[in-house]
Structure 1
Amino acid sequence: MDTKRSTRDKWLSKSKPLALIVISALVLYWLVLSPLSASSSVTVSKADVLIGEVSEQHFAESISVRGGIAPQDTVYLDAVESGRVEQVLVEEGSYVEKGELIARLSNTSLQLDVVSREAQVTEQLNNLRNTRITMEQDRLSLQNDVTELSYQLDRISSDLARNESLGKQSYISEKELADLKREKAYLKKRLAIAEERQLQNELLRASQIDQMEQSTESLKTNLAMAKRSLDNLMVTAARSGYLTSLSIETGEFVQRGSRLGQIDDLEQIKVVANVDEYYLNRIEEGQTAEAQIRGKQHALRVDKVYPQVSSGRFKVDLVFSDDAPVGLSRGQSVDLTMVLGQNREAIVVPTGAYLNDTQGRWIFVLDEDGNAQRRNIEVGRRNERFQEVVAGLMPGERVILSSYRQLGDAQHIEID
């Protein structure tokens, strides 16, 4: 009896691992393979699917973006100097000519500064004039001294020469001759000193006059700058155009550098569009675009691409290839179609919701029975209407374009 029980226990112990493997395999099949086989085919109503046809045609990649009208040239009006708005002479939206006065500001400090600088210049000019008069008087006085000393020296020299002849004949004493010689030497030294003083005075006079003239010119320059600052209180139009913005009121105090308004040239307009950064390397200057404005098609071209990316987008400027439509306002929205590539033959399939569900990796293709089979494909370029198919489809085949979200992992679709 014990022998039979021992044999049975041994058999059970060996059979348990095998039983666990079999049970695990059955559970795995039920969890994984069974749902797949159950979902490999689904049935849908013909009214719930959208069907399109694969074709071969001329194809060019394009994208649709929305832009806004903007002037090609804008001049901003900023306050060059702080001041109180005394008068606003032009209304917002008016057309202004270059140089036309738009607003008048006042600044008491600047006005007082100009008066003070004018007084400084006047005082300096008076000082320069007085200095010139004084130096001219000194020059004349020195010149008179030199002339007088030269005359006395000539007289003593003549007397000495005459007395020396008389002295040889003993008509004049030696003492008198010696006195004349000493006086001559004395006058000669005084004349040399006077001439040296005259020379130094001329040099000093020229240097001093030059310094005062430079100081006067500097004061005049400062006065001119102060007057220009005073002139900057007159807000004028830097160019002709429409005053599309003016944000000041009479009595308001504006700080230096404040934005007062802007002048736009609305005769030369452009379209500014923000494009997804995905296309940053696909858009270049000179590429074409089209816009539907008031029921008429207008051609544009890319004038400038701004490579800076902000919030996932970059800015593009487009200008009209021909005359721009009249009557467009700044900020008005325009829908654009931008062409990104050359027009060439390609196999294409209409775009649809299926592209969002499959990312262009596969598609349901209808067979002769009217049912659909899942097929892998390879896609290329895309525009608003068509998706280029590089591999996996042939012209004339029909495909399902509607959403695949409700189809799960189905490989086959039966269409009622």
Structure 2
Amino acid sequence: MDTIIKKKKSTFHKYIGYISTGIFILTIILYGISAFNAPSEISISKNKLQIAEVTNGLFHDYINIKGKIQPHQTIYLDAVERGRVKEIVAQEGSFINEGDIIIALENNELYQQILNSEVALAEKENYLRNTKINFRNDLIQSQKNLVESEYQLKRTERNYKQQERLLEKGLVAEEEYIKAKEDYLFQKEMLKINKMKAENDKLLQETTMQTLEEDLVKMRATLELVQSRLEHLEIKAPSSAYLGNIEAEIGQSIQQGQHLGVLYDLSEVKVIAEIDERYITKVKKGLKASYQFQNQNYDLVLQRIYPEVKESLFKVELIFEKEKPENLHSGQTTNARLSLGNPKKSLLLNKGNFYSETAGQWVYVLSEDGKTAQKRKIKIGDQNIQKYEILDGLKAGEKVVISQYNLLGDYDQIVFE
């Protein structure tokens, strides 16, 4: 009996699936390697890009600053005396000479006070005059009494001595002698009293008159002081300047110390500007700036740096170095160019919007034939509003794409169509 032998199944079909899968994976890997090694590039028209050439030249380190004209001196007009506005003489914005009246006030209470002081002074002067007359009369009377006493003393003394001689000879009664002696002694005492009174009257006159004279001087000074207050009712310009805003109206009641207006002395002016704090280490006193006004350049010099930084800005003060423009106004805006240092020989590149994308770390540099542009690392130093100072990565004559890179992505190469 024949035995049936079974045919073995082929193993080729077993491995065919594995081989196909391996080939597929290998294909993907090779494609990835090929794609990785292939250059990353983008095609674009040159007309859509801004291209600049790298040049050698002088780099001017400067910044543009915006400031405002301020007067050399601001004079505030405040009321020294209270009163009512009678007249506004000057016009806002006009040039006022020193001593010119700007505002006129009136004060009836002050007028009455001056009148009362004048009346009191007149009464005092009249009293002093009458007192002088009375003292003079008293002095004359004292002198008259003194002369009369001296005369009576001599007369009674002569009679007393005569009675004394007659008494010794027994030719007169003793009573007559005693009476003559008493009259003499009486007149002698009266002379002493009159002399004392004359001296006292003279002393009293001197002290009283001195006191009255001093009182009169004080009253005159008081009157002058009160009268001087009348001058304060006229608000005048303390110096020649331009008149700013007037804060008063006809008929308005003004209190002492109330602000009435302001004067701007524009004979000398200054510029107050604000600068970004990133330049704070470069800004020094003595730096020069230029300002163009009505097609003419004017030189400025930085004379003061304010110590405070507010909202990332710090203030500086500049003055005109030589001549200044005419017809400047307080608060007028100025655009000046502040030099931060002396010009220096440098490799220069025009400023462009690429900086906002690359922070100045790399650029696209055109090939010699101008058909492509490759990404290249560079190093930028200082910059002004027009130029970058190139420290490394570029050389003179090379051309660079300086327009915005947002349309170019992050490709290594640009191919120009």
Instruction: Using structure 1 for the length normalisation, give the TM-score.
Output: 0.71
* 1:299 aligned counterpart, secondary structure: strand
**Aligned pairs for 1:17-96 within 5 A:** 55-72=55-72, 74-96=74-96
Separation (CA, whole Å) in 2 of partners of 1:359 and 1:170: 150
Three-state SS of the structure 2 residue aligned to 1:225 is helix
Aligned to 1:190: 190
Aligned AA (1:272): V
Q: Please point out which of 374, 379, 386 is paired with 2:377.
A: 374
Aligned counterpart, 2:269: 270
* Counterpart residue number, 2:29: none
Deviation at 1:122, TM superposition (A): 1.8
Aligned match of 2:235 = 235
Aligned partner of 2:245 in structure 1 is 245
Amino acid at match of 1:270: V
Partner of 2:315: 314
Name the structure 1 match of 2:215: 215
> 2:261 — aligned with what?
261
TM-superposed CA distance for 1:66, in Å, is: 1.5
1:141 and 2:133 correspond? no
* TM-aligned CA distance change 1:134 to 1:289, over 3 Å: same
Q: Quick one: percent identity of the two aligned structures?
A: 25
- Classify the secondary structure of the residue corresponding to 2:111: helix
1: CA distance between counterparts of 2:284 and 2:116? Answer: 58
Q: Deviations over 1:297-352 (max 9, x none)?
A: 4122237426363734324142263352x444443322111223233434555555
Deviations for 1:146-167, whole angstroms, at most 9, x for unmatched residues?
A: 2222222222333334444445
Cα distance in 2, alignment partners of residues 310 and 177 from structure 1: 115
Task: State the 1:63 CA deviation.
Answer: 2.1
Q: Which residue of 2 aligns with 1:384?
A: 385
Give the counterpart letter for 2:198 in structure 1: Q
What residue is the counterpart of 2:9 in the other structure? Answer: none
Contact kept in structure 1, 2:362 and 2:375, CA below 8 Å: no
Give 1:280 shift.
6.2
Would the alpha carbon gap of residues 98 and 87 (structure 1) be closer, same or farther in structure 2, given more than 3 Å must change?
A: same
Q: Secondary structure at the match of 1:371?
A: strand
Cα distance 1:130–1:50, how it changes in 2: closer, same or farther (>3 A)?
Answer: same
8 A contact 2:366–2:401 mirrored in 1: no
Give, in whole Å, the separation in 1 of the partners of 2:120 and 2:158: 57
CA separation of 1:366 and 1:88: change in aligned 2, threshold 3 A: same
Deviations 1:233-265 (A, max 9, x none): 223344445434333222222222233233445
SS at match of 2:99: coil
**For the Cα contact (< 8 Å) 2:364–2:373, is it kept in 1?**
no
Partner of 1:107: 107
Gaps of 5+ in 2: 1-35
SS in 2 for 1:129: helix
Q: CA RMSD in A?
A: 3.9
> 1:400/1:393 Cα in 2 relative to 1: closer, same or farther (>3 Å)?
same
1:95-119, CA deviations, whole angstroms, 9 ceiling, x for partnerless residues?
4444333332222221222122222
Q: Can you give the 5+ residue segments of structure 1 that lack an aligned partner in the other structure?
A: 1-37
Deviation at 1:81, TM superposition (A): 1.7
Instruction: Give the whole-Å Cα distance in 1 for the aligned partners of 2:62 and 2:384.
Output: 5
Distance 2:194 2:92 in 1: 76
How does 1:280-319 map onto structure 2 within 5 Å? 286-294=286-294, 296-302=295-301, 304-305=303-304, 307=306, 309=308, 311=310, 312-319=313-320
Larger Rg over CA atoms: 2
In the alignment, what sits opposite 1:331? 331
Structure 2 length-normalised TM: 0.71
Q: Which amino acid aligns with 1:322?
A: E
Q: Distance in 1 between matches of 2:154 and 2:358?
A: 124
Q: Which moved more, 1:208-217 or 1:69-78?
A: 69-78
Q: Structure 1 residues 156 and 342, CA, compared in 2 at 3 Å: closer, same or farther?
A: farther
Q: What is the CA–CA distance in structure 2 between the aligned matches of 1:208 and 1:283, rounded to whole Å?
A: 74
